[in-house]
Structures are given as C-alpha cells and as structure tokens.
Structure 1
Amino acid sequence: MSAAPITVRRAVLADAAAFARTMGDPAVLRQLMQVPYTSEEAWRARLGDLLAPGKPDLMLVAERPGADGMPEVVGSAGLHPAGVAVRRRHVMMMGISVRSEAQGQGVGTALMQALCDWCDNWGQVLRLELSVYADNARAIALYQRFGFRQEGLHRGYALRDGAYVDALSMARLHPRPPGIEPFNDAPAGL
C-alpha cells in the first residue's frame, strides 16, 4: 500500500488550530522548545506576527488527505533569521515538527526538502542552523541526510520533563553557493 501524498505549502492563519494540536501532543512537545498548554489563540497571534508582510520568516505546513479525504496538516517547519546583525543575514535558523502519528512516513523529509530548496534557490541562505536534543536520534539522522553536521554539544541546554537535557548544534552550508562570472571585458566607452 502506498503512502498518502504529502503536499507542502506556506502556512496561513487558519492553520493555528493544527499548530496547537501538533505542539500540544506530549510526544511531539518533548522534542521541541515549546511549552505545554498551547492554544489556538496563541498560535493565531504567533502566526499573525510571523506571516506579516515584510517578515523574513518562512512558515510551511505539510498536509496529506485525512480520513475524510480532506487535506490535514501533519507537520510544520519554519525558517527564522539568526539575528539582526548585518553580518549574519546569510544565516537562518530552522525548526520542524511532525505529528506523532505521521512520524516515519516521509513528512519530515518533505518539509526538509522544501526548506533546503527555498534556502538554496530562493532565500539567499548560505548557512542553515538548528538545535536538536542529543537523544533525538531520528531527527539527527534526518538532518544528516540533508547535509547537516554536528558543530557542538550544549550541556544542560533545556529543561524537559523535569530534567536538564543536552542538545547538539548542527548546521548545513549551501552545497553550491551561487556566484556570478565577472565581466570578461567592459563595453566600449565605459
């Protein structure tokens, strides 16, 4: 039996309920830097800010047909500026989440392909960064398949389920940074 097709698209405000449902899933929450007791209203406000015109953030969702045949959001991913410093404009930070019942079914791969395509071909991103809990082997393997490499270990990085846990910093450099050929000769008269 083939897997249901996965479509990746830009997030919209109407996706707030799906974000709240995914981030509220205890199995998903424990692997993210989110906090419990999320709400649709909080996600609507957050998405409203991230989706505002002129914002450099990119918010994507992955959907596939649900039990009723209608598209259902099963994952999300985001790219966010690494900071406001002029010298770091070439860097984005990323985050990704996949509903627990959709994990291991290609959703993360589809989102990663979309993020890397946007970074490499449209977003002028040279460096893509992330943090991942050191015990999240499935996510680490996904990131490595897309060219991410471990750059450091952060001891006691975050409080999770009442214990401080370690995280890895990982990054991916553009595999073929764009360039431009110099002029061979200047036109006459210039």
Structure 2
Amino acid sequence: MIFIRRAELSDAAQIQRVYASSNTYAGTLQLPYPSVEMWQERLRQVDANDLVLIAMYDGVIVGTGGLHVEKKIRRRHAASIGMGVADSFTGRGVGSALLVELLSLADNWLNLSRLELTVFCDNAAAVHLYGKFGFEIEGKHRGYALRNGVYVDAYAMARFHPHPPVVPESGL
C-alpha cells in the first residue's frame, strides 16, 4: 500500500535515491548524481506556501510530489506541480496516489483554480497520467531542455478546478 505524507528534513537521503534513478532525473530538470546535502538544503528552504509530499511503500520513499503556489499577487490562483517516481516503481500507482493528494490540497484547501506543469513530450506515461486527472496540453516548448546532449521538447499542461467553490448566499 502506498502512504503519502509531507516531506521532512530526515527524508533527504531517500529522496536523493529516488532522483538518482536515471529515468527519474531524465524526466525532470534535475541533474544526474544529486547529493543528499542538496536535498537537505532544498527541504530546509521549502517556502511556507509550498508543499512537498512523499510517497512511501513498505517504509521506503518511492516518489515525491510538489505543489508550488505562485508568489506574484496576480498569479496566486495558480500553482505548479512537479513529481518524480523511482524507476523501480513506475506504473505501480505512485504517481496517481501523489496526484490525488496534490489535487485534493489544491482544490479543497488552497483555493487554487489553475494547476500547471511541464512534461517532456516523449514521456508518454506521464502525459497519459496527467491527462487522466484533467490536465490538458496548452502548448509545446520546442528545445525546452538539454537531456543527454540533445534538446528535447516539453508540453505545457494545465488543469482548472473542476468545481470551483461558491460563496453561499447570506440570506439577509
């Protein structure tokens, strides 16, 4: 069973192992050979408006998901999502479990109406996963990032809140 909770500083070494997986860092903007110290620093510096979740299976961290609320006042209705799943756990529901929690927080607690992400165009599994949860392709970034010596394209995807909250009438 997959268990989701907020990341803690003591999780840095296990998160480092997730992102040391070659397909995991290749699917993100991470560099190969991440250090534990880098992850400790990232976890120390998480903004109060951001959330970093981890997915655990049998006591081992197998994935992470982040929800990063926009800082600009005119963009506070939006947040970006980033995720990574250990190579040995792809296709086992980890990404879905993380997305369920991230979307619940965005929709039910943070009053976010727009969620955004970028995903490499050749990551068919991730594009399918995001589509399953209501994300739509809004455009393509050509030559978005260098990966293995080649520039690769990425999709810009977004999802709007499916049932935006409504303020009840006062009845006065």
TM range (shorter): over 0.9
Query: d(CA) in 2 for partners of 1:79 and 1:116?
Result: 9
Residue from 55, 65, 68 that aligns with 1:62: 55
Matches within 5 A, 1:1-190: 5-50=1-46, 55-65=48-58, 71-82=59-70, 84-185=71-172
User: What is the identity, as a one-letter code, of the residue corresponding to 1:77?
Assistant: G
Runs of 4+ in 1 over 4 A off after TM superposition: none
Structure 2 unaligned segments of length 5 or more: list them: none
The alignment of Structure 1 onto Structure 2 pairs a total of residues equal to 172
Larger CA Rg, structure 1 vs 2: 1
Residue identity matched to 1:119? A
> In percent, how many aligned pairs have the same letter?
45
Can you give the 5+ residue segments of structure 1 that lack an aligned partner in the other structure? 66-70, 186-190
Q: Distance in 2 between matches of 1:73 and 1:10?
A: 11
SS at match of 1:165: strand
- For residues 40 and 141 of structure 1, the distance between their equivalents in structure 2, rounded to whole angstroms, comes to 31
* Whole-Å separation in 2 of the counterparts to 1:96 and 1:167: 15
The CA deviation at 1:140 is 0.4
CA RMSD of aligned residues (A): 1.0
State the SS of the aligned residue for 2:31.
Answer: coil
Q: CA deviation at 1:19?
A: 1.4
